[in-house]
Amino acid sequence: MAGTTLDVTVDRVVDGDTIRVMLDGQSESIRILSLDTEEVFQSGSKPVTPMGKKASERANELVKSGDKVKLRFPGTEPVEEAVKKYRGNFGRLLVWVELEDGTDFQEVMIKEGLSPYFMKYGHAEYSFLRQRYEDA
């Protein structure tokens, strides 16, 4: 599969498109690419919505504290460089998440109608992901 990957342990789910993982002994915030779920916390002008709560609940069903997941970065740089390079507005890592059993977290959330295939950071860089998300 394409892209630099990193196996990590889940610290906790924040909401439908953000989780925290343990990286170098510290809890690190992950912004999951290709998703944009509605809000579960009041944030600026965005309201909290029932769909945001549903997305967060589903994320909590898919991943739990202590679970192992694979992070996939948009590029092929060494892990140390990718961890520095792929960060969003709030300093969160920008990655795709694959569950330990190989399930594509993003595909599940899109397929179940909990998020559109969101392209704020552009289309998924890898054609196999882009096609999967468009089909979902």
Residue that has been written with the tokens 């889940």 in this structure? 10
With b for 16 or more beta-carbon neighbours within 10 A and e for fewer, the 39-54 pattern comes to: bbeeeeeeeeeeebbb
d(CA 38, CA 64): 20
Residue that has been written with the tokens 């192992």 in this structure? 68
Annotated catalytic residue: which of 20, 38, 72, 92?
92
Known catalytic membership, residue 39:
yes
- Do residues 96 and 34 touch, judged by C-beta distance below 8 A? yes
Known catalytic membership, residue 12:
no
Q: Which residues are catalytic, by number?
A: 31, 39, 92
